[in-house]
Amino acid sequence: MMKDRIQLDKQGRLRHLLTIEGLRREMLVELLDTAESFAEVTERSVKKVPLLRGKTIVNLFFENSTRTRTTFELAAKRLSADVININATTSATSKGETLLDTLHTLEAMHCDMFVVRHPDSGAAHFIARHAASHVSVINAGDGRHAHPTQALLDMFTIRRHKHDFHPLIVAIVGDVLHSRVARSQIHALSTLGVQEIRVIAPRTLVPPEPASLGVHVYHDLERGLRNVDVVIMLRLQYERMQGALLPSEHEYYRLFGLTEERLACARDDVLVMHPGPINRGVEIASSVADGPHSLILQQVTHGTAVRMAVMSHAMRTGESS
């Protein structure tokens, strides 16, 4: 609940988006509803609205991610904001400046929003806690902690196809232990009231105390997929291979790779999702990634609309509070 409070202003409106944890169902639904209207904008010939004209949004990336940076940059530009890209792995702090001095300097330049990507869990909260009152912070992924806009765009994609969350059985497959995406998805699915959340993973990659997260754990992919409405594949991080946590890539695919054959265990109208970038032939077969159940590219499309929604909500609050 602490985490909830820092994200909202006194009127209970979104000021920062740091984590899905603690956000009320109504807030998530409101964000998804706003994203619907922006999804329509991004399909127009002129994909631009003047909503954030004269606002300055800083992409402050302490971890490289061209893909994520690009989606936030596009969302900001389509809202007519000015965007500054800062690759913080090579700058500022490299001169020995502290993180907080870097932040306060950007605030003093009258920047309005920081989109933060950071390798350390909790970095986005840390930044939000120290941010000036006129600044909004959006977490674009921090360590193993959270990636809330990814979870929101996944919920948006599910809602577009399934309409009602309550009857759904959703399986998340892969390295759930280290995944900020999975953590945010579990909180979102749980808040939106799906019937059941399953985690399908090798024993070494299951999060501790799954019961407290409200998830059911499976170590066998085929059994875990039975009756599933939505299957969310996680990206296998090659770094993990180095340690003893994972078998070889080949062995992983044999046990946990999503093939057409295995997908047949799920419901006929199952949705296949993946946050990307995908490793073809590692966590997912190409025929599934490109197949009729796959929503992987739709997720990307919805990502822009969802980020526009988050930005516009957080900024509006900033103005009137």
**Segment interacting with its own copies, rule: CB under 8 A, options 3-11, 63-71, 179-187, 258-266:** 63-71
Residue 281: CB partners within 8 Å, gap ≥ 6? 253, 257
**Segment interacting with its own copies, rule: CB under 8 A, options 12-20, 95-103, 182-190, 220-228:** 95-103
If one asks whether residue 43 binds its own copies (CB under 8 A), the answer comes out as yes
Would you call 226 a catalytic residue per the annotation?
no
**Vertex 303 angle, CA 38 and 193, to 5°:** 95
CA dihedral 106, 109, 112, 118 (to 10 degrees): -10
If one asks whether residue 118 binds its own copies (CB under 8 A), the answer comes out as no
**Segment interacting with its own copies, rule: CB under 8 A, options 28-36, 73-81, 141-149, 160-168:** 73-81
If one asks whether residue 109 binds its own copies (CB under 8 A), the answer comes out as yes
Q: What are phi and psi of 297, to 5 degrees?
A: -75, -30
If one asks whether residue 91 binds its own copies (CB under 8 A), the answer comes out as yes
Nearest to 165 by CA among 233, 232, 229: 229
**Segment interacting with its own copies, rule: CB under 8 A, options 90-98, 121-129, 169-177, 261-269:** 90-98
Count, residues near its own copies per rule CB under 8 A: 54
Nearer to its own copies, 145 or 235 (CB): 235
Minimum CB distance to its own copies, residue 191 (Å): 26
Nearest to 274 by CA among 255, 252, 297, 245: 297
Give the footprint of its own copies on residues 278-317 (CB under 8 A).
278-280, 297-298, 300-301, 303-304
CB 240 within 8 A of CB 199: no
Catalytic residue of the set 16, 19, 34, 68: 68
Q: How many whole angstroms separate alpha carbon 304 and alpha carbon 146?
A: 18
If one asks whether residue 89 binds its own copies (CB under 8 A), the answer comes out as no
Q: How many whole angstroms separate alpha carbon 159 and alpha carbon 154?
A: 9
The correct pick among 6, 86, 245, 265 for binding its own copies (CB under 8 A) is 86
Q: How many whole angstroms separate alpha carbon 201 and alpha carbon 321?
A: 44
Would you call 267 a catalytic residue per the annotation?
no
Helices 296-320 and 148-162 meet at what angle, rounded to 10?
A: 120
Would you call 162 a catalytic residue per the annotation?
no
Q: In what order do the strands lie in the sheet with 113-118?
A: 82-87, 56-61, 113-118, 136-142
Residue type, 165: F
Catalytic residue of the set 44, 47, 48, 67: 67
Q: Which residues bind its own copies (CB under 8 A)?
A: 42-48, 53-56, 64, 66-67, 70-71, 73-74, 77-78, 82, 84, 86-87, 90-92, 95-98, 101-102, 104-111, 238, 276-280, 297-298, 300-301, 303-304, 319
